[in-house]
DNA sequence: GGGTGTGAATGAATTCACAGCC
DNA sequence: GGCTGTGAATTCATTCACACCC
């Protein structure tokens, strides 16, 4: 269905756009509406839709829910609040044949580093309806693992490799201290993790098949000064 | 000193590079060293240095501390661990003539939203040596403001405008719930905030003079799937 | 040999411009 | 008149290529 690769810049916008659509008050939306809400040029938005092969617009705009579905399809995304719909014949994902939640193919994640920032994410509500499910938390401080309470199990870092495989965890949020970041990263990709949301300040070195998104607060502050 | 505008992509890299330099074990570093650590092409790195007018390299690499200084100069950055050095005649910043910390011109920030994520940031150590200083935390839940303890004062959201002006706060980290995000943002820029690190999932609408960096964890997860 | 500095060449992302539709 | 769809034109970012230096 989607022969041509979607440019990265477009992906970033479409994912954000989903959030806007999620609580758009009307049934229809025009590229100009979107432009007003985002400051992106309206032509850029139309161009993005063109790139993903979506051309269901009429002169009074796009049907919000058609558009949502088209974006999710194009990006292979579940959430937010995934509507169960017909699926086009795209190379289906490895099915989540796992445990309790085999419902709609959720992607399993873990939190690495349970310091203040990490433990703040130990909250299922945070990932509610997102298409992601926390399966584990890790910390090298065994003490911390024992004290904290959460609805999913916490493990010492020594059990990362094992647990990641057993629980079929594919993505990780890294919230350890800068000095531990690369070390933990090494363990993560050795264990088969496919992508990392990096909340540390360091540049992670990973094999080219591992995707990284950098979310350093400090670096971001420096970008807005 | 710096007549030509630094491209954004270059800025992003240079800021990250500072982190690498911070604990680089040797006195010198080559563009190839950097390339290995970051996966950026070495020619790109040299090109970046060229763009900021840094050409102090000899055939065995760049002197780490000269390079650090050049990057900080080029970007107008203080931290990390700012070395007190001669300052070239660039249009100096509005001097922080304020209160206790008139030491080295730190930039004042605040945290808006003291839910789990926000309160995790209520930690001075987090911003130690970063060039930034937390001056206040805000939450619309008055209760939360009273219960939490921190080394700097917490205020109900109603006092945002006043406090931001009084404390000369220029930047904000936004960690409120998605539904409050735009509302709080409006108050922030009305109060004169110049930049926002947006940890919510929504696209913020701001006047063009306000800079925003989006750090949504959910959106980032969707980008690495 | 192994490194830098720098313009030119290529590639990616955005904006323009305009035909066509309701 | 107000909107979409789409290629072409433009702007921005990265990579190449090669002269030069130690």
Q: Is the pLDDT of residue A26 over 80?
A: yes
CA A51 to chain centre: 21
Which pLDDT value is given to residue B58? Answer: 87
Is there a contact between B203 and A19 if contact means CB atoms under 8 Å apart?
yes
Is there a contact between A203 and B76 if contact means CB atoms under 8 Å apart?
no
Encode chain B (225 residues) as per-residue pLDDT tens digits: 445 689 999 999 999 999 999 999 999 999 999 999 999 999 999 999 999 999 888 888 999 999 999 999 999 887 555 444 434 444 344 444 444 444 568 999 999 999 999 999 998 888 998 999 999 999 999 999 999 989 899 999 999 999 999 999 999 999 999 999 999 999 999 999 999 999 999 999 999 999 999 999 999 999 999
Of A116, A162, A168, A104, nearest to A141 (Cα)?
A: A116
The answer to whether B191 and B164 are in contact (CB under 8 A) is yes
Give the count of Cβ contacts less than 8 A between chain A and B: 150
Residue located via tokens 């270059």: B10
Q: Is the pLDDT of residue A96 over 60?
A: no
Q: Is the pLDDT of residue A170 over 70?
A: yes
Is there a contact between B212 and A221 if contact means CB atoms under 8 Å apart?
no
User: CB-based contacts of A23: which residues, under 8 Å, 6+ apart?
Assistant: none
Least confident of A91-95, A108-112, A118-122, A168-172: A91-95
Q: Which 193-212 residues of chain B touch chain A by CB within 8 A?
A: 194-197, 201-203, 205, 208, 211-212
Q: Is the pLDDT of residue A159 over 90?
A: yes
Which pLDDT value is given to residue A121? Answer: 95
Strand D–CB B9 distance below 7 A: yes
Q: How far is CA A83 from CA A13, A53, B50, B171, in A?
A: 21, 20, 50, 38
Contacts by B9-13, CB closer than 8 A, 24 or more apart? B10/B48, B10/B51, B10/B52, B11/A223, B11/B75, B12/A219, B12/A223, B13/B38, B13/B40, B13/B44, B13/B45, B13/B48
CA geometry: angle B126, B130, B132, nearest 5 deg: 90
Which pLDDT value is given to residue A79? Answer: 57
- Which pLDDT tens digit goes with each residue over A114-148? 999 999 999 888 899 899 999 999 999 999 999 99
Q: Which residue is nearest to nucleotide C7 (CA to C1')?
A: B47
Indicate the pLDDT class of residue A3, thresholds 50, 70 and 90: low
Is there a contact between B211 and A222 if contact means CB atoms under 8 Å apart?
no
pTM: 0.89
Which pLDDT value is given to residue A56? Answer: 86
Tell me the two tokens of residue A43: 């032509």
What nucleotides of chain C have any atom within 7 angstroms of a protein Cβ?
1-8, 12-18, 20-22
Which pLDDT value is given to residue A214? Answer: 98
Tell me the two tokens of residue B85: 């050095």
HSE value, Cβ hemisphere, 13 Å, CA-based, for A114 = 23
Which pLDDT value is given to residue A100? Answer: 45
Which pLDDT value is given to residue A123? Answer: 87
Q: How far apart are CA B172 and CA A92, in angstroms?
A: 42
Of B113, B224, B117, nearest to A131 (Cα)?
A: B224
| CB environment B112-131: b (16+ within 10 A), e (fewer) | bbbbbbbbbbbeeebbeebb
The C1' atom of D21 and the CA atom of B62 lie apart, in whole Å, by 14
Of B26, B37, B13, nearest to B60 (Cα)?
A: B26
Which pLDDT value is given to residue B56? Answer: 86
Best-predicted range by mean pLDDT (A86-90, A206-210, A216-220, B126-130): A216-220
Q: What is the mean pLDDT of residues A89-110?
A: 57
Which pLDDT value is given to residue B82? Answer: 45
Q: How far apart are CA B109 and CA B111, in angstroms?
A: 7
Tell me the two tokens of residue A19: 């959030």
Is there a contact between B225 and A195 if contact means CB atoms under 8 Å apart?
yes
Of B125, B94, B120, nearest to B173 (Cα)?
A: B120
Q: Which nucleotide is nearest to A49 (CA to C1')?
A: D5
The C1' atom of D13 and the CA atom of B50 lie apart, in whole Å, by 14
User: CB-based contacts of B94: which residues, under 8 Å, 6+ apart?
Assistant: none
Which pLDDT value is given to residue A179? Answer: 95
CA B110 to chain centre: 12
């Amino acid at each position: 269905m989607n022969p041509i690769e979607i440019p990265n810049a477009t992906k970033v916008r479409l994912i954000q756009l989903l959030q806007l659509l999620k609580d758009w008050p009307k049934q229809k939306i025009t590229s100009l509406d979107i432009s007003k809400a985002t400051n992106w040029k309206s032509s850029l938005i139309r161009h993005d839709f063109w790139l993903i092969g979506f051309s269901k617009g009429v002169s009074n705009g796009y049907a919000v829910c058609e558009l949502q579905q088209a974006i999710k399809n194009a990006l292979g995304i579940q959430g937010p609040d995934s509507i169960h719909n017909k699926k086009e014949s795209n190379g289906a994902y490895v099915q989540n044949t796992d445990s309790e939640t085999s419902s709609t193919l959720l992607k399993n994640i873990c939190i690495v580093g349970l310091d203040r920032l990490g433990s703040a994410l130990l909250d299922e509500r945070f990932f509610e309806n997102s298409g992601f499910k926390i399966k584990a938390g890790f910390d090298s401080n065994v003490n911390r693992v024992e004290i904290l309470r959460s609805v999913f199990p916490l493990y010492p870092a020594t059990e990362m490799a094992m647990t990641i495989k057993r629980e079929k965890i594919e993505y990780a949020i890294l919230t350890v201290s800068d000095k531990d970041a690369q070390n933990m990263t090494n363990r993560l990709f050795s264990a088969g993790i496919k992508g990392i949301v990096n909340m540390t300040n360091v540049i992670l070195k990973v094999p080219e098949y591992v995707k990284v998104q950098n979310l350093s607060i400090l670096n971001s502050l420096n970008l807005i000064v």
